[in-house]
Amino acid sequence: MKQSLIIFSFPLISVLISAWGFQPHKMINLNAIYSLPPDLAIFYKKHHFQIREFAVNADKRVYIDPEESPRHFIDLDKVDNLDSLEIPWHKVKEKYDEKLLLSKGIIPWQMDKSYRQLVLAFYKKDIQRIIKISADLGHYTADAHVPLHTTSNYNGQFSNQIGIHALWETRLPEMFFNKYKLMVGKAKYIDNVLKFSWETVKESHSLLDSVLKIEKDLSSRLPKILHRSYIQRGQQIHTNYSDLYVINYHQELNGMVQRRMKKSIHSVGSLWFSAWVDAGQPDLSKISTNSILDDSIKFDINNIPKGREEWH
């Protein structure tokens, strides 16, 4: 008989997740390449365009694949007996209802699953699979470093802070990314990826109170008229947080966004490196890559209904 998680009950909601925004996701994958040892870096540098561009495929799949959404988050605030979940996915499904687990997100297990898939792709020297899975693993790992991906209050909808999702992980990186110093040093071997994944989301969750409180305090201090402004995205004009608001929030976070991005980069590189080591450090230099195609998902994201809304 399966146990019940201590959890608030509400229907399964698919999630729109664009952690870091599209461009920062690409740059996280690209910068992770420079943390790799020479033998592996040669391969990733050779395929840096696909590794970078495919970094956003997982977000795009949210719009067309109902099974994709839960892979990007986990609502730690809705789980009471957390320690009992830090076991492999096939074991946790034996103890708990799978639909309930999916409704609260499965990102730690997805990181572990993608890692194992990458090890197999390296072992088989399947270049296309290595590229695709590396890009996806980079995406999920980066998402796990975002505090708002660890809570049901993912967009401040329960704390009267609607819009904070896009503010923290899109507006801030967009405005300040070029000023970030993102060199992270050498990738390190990770001997227990599932444990590492859980440690990552728990560390992210520990920052959540600061993410919300700092924005709440700023909102109360700054006159309402200075909160919003009009910005142009493509051919459309939207209301969004003003530059003044974004600058003040970024300053009061005291480097948090840059630190999480740097940690994302190092984690991604370390997972790629560890998968290669676990596969026996195969020599990829002599494999033909003529069949590598642009397999990125292409469609107009603006014309597709969103899942879990960002509550702009």
pLDDT digits (tens, 9 = 90+) for 32-58: 999 999 999 999 999 999 999 999 999
**Stated pTM of the model:** 0.87
Beta-strand (E) ranges in the chain? 228-233, 236-241
Q: Residue 198: which of 139, 280, 134, 267 has the closest Cα?
A: 267
Predicted confidence band of residue 293 (pLDDT cuts 50, 70, 90): low
**pLDDT score, position 226:** 94
Cβ neighbours of 118 (radius 10 Å): 25
Give the CATH H-level superfamily of domain 22-210+255-303.
P1 Nuclease (1.10.575.10)
Q: Both tokens of residue 224?
A: 């309402």
pLDDT digits (tens, 9 = 90+) for 205-244: 999 999 999 999 999 999 999 999 887 777 888 788 999 9
